[in-house]
């Protein structure tokens, strides 16, 4: 699909992919329009407000369910690892081929996804102060108050205290710090070690949450945030040695002169080989995300909810694979920004 091309299938609800609107700061208005709520006014301040009790759901509520899947540090050129995801979302949804994360750093970008605001407006400017996010501005709060059943599964905000419950979620399995295997989780208020691979663990809990809609008339919002493809990249054991396509690099990786670059990039000397190795590790971790997306699709189909679920798939930002000698994120260059 060419950049910017949009394609819609016959389903009732739009399905969005390509690090969709969430990373560009538009998630909250989009979701509120889809659910019949009011979008926050542009530039609205966070005046103190009392949290309202959730509105009671009525039987026959046809508002869409919402599944938001957020990967971690996933660059744009990783489609090879997601064939099932692309077959589902790319085939029947809308792809944003030029999506950019305006703040390519984990916590500020996640806060923008939750609030629909730029970092200078939502207040979370780094990765170490999760309390700076005004929780009154988040999509989970607005959906919860609108009568949605809300669930969080996986990573929330960097340095969020593990024992603290995330506001405005009815159910959660929150992990911080995030590990690929055998992590410590806040499981609905109880901190415990959960054996297994992060992507599989949180996927299974999210599936249980979705399954709960059999007995609950409320529409639901599931926020699923994986460890993949963040470093240190540890693939699921079954994918530890999977062959990935050879990489030829790109001009920004192979450049020989950086005289026009700022000092911090002139001091960066990561190589094409290092970038290729990081790419391989990331792709292998994303194979498990692809399996999770397949399982979400199959669950929604089995429940008869596939056509009434808004699915968003995005990453918090991209990552450099040795571009200009840089092997991280947090820089105003396309590999770090594009999602």
Helix (H) or strand (E) holding 181: strand 181-187
| Mean of pLDDT values over 94-110 | 92
List the Cα angle 55/212/32 in 5-degree steps.
40
Q: Which two tokens stand for residue 293?
A: 């997306």
| Lowest-confidence segment of 43-57, 194-208, 325-339 by average pLDDT | 43-57
Using an 8 Å Cβ cutoff, are 154 and 174 in contact? yes
Q: Which two tokens stand for residue 271?
A: 């190589």
User: d(Cα 114, Cα 42) in Å, to the nearest integer?
Assistant: 16
Q: Which two tokens stand for residue 246?
A: 């050879």
CA atoms within 13 A on the CB side of 56: 2
For the stretch 235-276, pLDDT in tens is 999 999 999 999 999 999 999 899 999 999 999 999 999 999
Q: Could you give the 3-state DSSP secondary structure of residue 112? A: helix
pTM: 0.87
pLDDT for 49:
31
User: d(Cα 262, Cα 273) in Å, to the nearest integer?
Assistant: 23
Domain locations in the chain?
15-32+64-337
DSSP 8-class letter at 38: P
Report cis status (omega within 30 of 0) of the bond before 232. Answer: yes
- The backbone torsions φ and ψ at residue 66, rounded to the nearest 5 degrees and listed phi first, read -135, 120
For the stretch 162-177, pLDDT in tens is 999 999 999 999 998 8
Q: Mark residue 110 as left, alpha or beta (left: phi above 0; alpha: psi -120 to 50; beta: remaining).
A: alpha
Q: Could you give the 3-state DSSP secondary structure of residue 221? A: strand
Beta strands 15-17 and 65-71: pairing type?
unpaired
Using CA of residue 185, residue 159, residue 224, residue 57, what is the dihedral sign? Answer: positive
User: d(Cα 229, Cα 283) in Å, to the nearest integer?
Assistant: 8
Structural fold of domain 15-32+64-337: Alkaline Phosphatase, subunit A (3.40.720)
Using an 8 Å Cβ cutoff, are 285 and 297 in contact? no
Q: Could you give the 3-state DSSP secondary structure of residue 41? A: coil
Using an 8 Å Cβ cutoff, are 29 and 20 in contact? no
pLDDT for 91:
80
pLDDT for 45:
31
Query: Is 93 buried (19+), middle (13-18) or exposed (0-12) by CB count in 10 A?
Result: buried
- The backbone torsions φ and ψ at residue 263, rounded to the nearest 5 degrees and listed phi first, read -55, -40
Q: Rounded mean pLDDT of the chain? A: 86
pLDDT for 13:
35
For the stretch 16-71, pLDDT in tens is 543 333 333 445 555 666 566 555 433 333 333 334 455 554 445 789 999 999 99
User: d(Cα 328, Cα 234) in Å, to the nearest integer?
Assistant: 17
Q: Mark residue 31 as left, alpha or beta (left: phi above 0; alpha: psi -120 to 50; beta: remaining).
A: alpha
User: d(Cα 209, Cα 222) in Å, to the nearest integer?
Assistant: 8
Using CA of residue 333, residue 106, residue 148, residue 28, what is the dihedral sign? Answer: negative
Sheet containing 181-187: give its strands across.
Answer: 94-95, 15-17, 309-315, 65-71, 220-225, 149-154, 171-175, 181-187, 190-197
- The backbone torsions φ and ψ at residue 41, rounded to the nearest 5 degrees and listed phi first, read -65, 145
User: d(Cα 26, Cα 30) in Å, to the nearest integer?
Assistant: 6
pLDDT for 318:
96
Using an 8 Å Cβ cutoff, are 314 and 101 in contact? no
User: d(Cα 122, Cα 273) in Å, to the nearest integer?
Assistant: 38
């Amino acid at each position: 699909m060419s950049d910017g091309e949009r394609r819609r299938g016959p389903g009732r609800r739009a399905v969005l992919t390509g690090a969709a609107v969430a990373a560009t700061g538009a998630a909250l208005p989009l979701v509120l329009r889809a659910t019949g709520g009011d979008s926050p006014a542009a530039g609205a301040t966070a005046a103190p407000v009392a949290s309202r009790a959730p509105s009671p759901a009525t039987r026959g509520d046809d508002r869409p369910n919402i599944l938001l899947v957020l990967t971690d540090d996933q660059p744009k050129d990783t489609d090879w690892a997601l064939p099932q995801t692309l077959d589902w979302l790319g085939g029947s949804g809308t792809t944003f081929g030029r999506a950019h994360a305006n703040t390519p750093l984990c916590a500020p970008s996640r806060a923008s996804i939750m609030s629909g605001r730029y970092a200078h407006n939502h207040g979370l400017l780094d990765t170490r102060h999760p309390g700076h996010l005004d929780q009154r501005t988040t999509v989970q709060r607005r959906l919860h108050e609108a009568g949605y059943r809300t669930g969080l599964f996986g990573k929330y905000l960097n340095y969020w205290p593990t024992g603290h419950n995330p506001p405005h979620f009815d159910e959660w399995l929150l992990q911080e710090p995030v590990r690929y295997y055998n992590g410590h989780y806040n499981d609905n208020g109880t901190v415990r070690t959960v054996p297994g691979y992060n992507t599989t663990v949180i996927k299974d809990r999210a599936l249980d949450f979705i399954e709960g809609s059999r007995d609950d008339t409320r529409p639901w919002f599931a926020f699923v945030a994986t460890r993949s493809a963040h470093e240190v990249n540890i693939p699921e054991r079954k994918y530890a040695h999977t062959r990935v396509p050879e990489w030829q690099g790109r001009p920004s990786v192979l450049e020989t002169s950086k005289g026009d670059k700022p000092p911090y990039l002139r001091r960066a000397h990561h190589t094409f080989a290092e970038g290729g190795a990081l790419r391989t590790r990331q792709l292998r971790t994303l194979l498990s995300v692809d399996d999770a997306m397949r399982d979400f699709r199959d669950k929604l189909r089995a429940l008869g909810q596939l056509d009434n679920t808004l699915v968003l798939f995005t990453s918090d930002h991209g990552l450099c694979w040795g571009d200009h000698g840089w092997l991280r994120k947090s820089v105003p260059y396309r590999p770090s920004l594009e999602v």
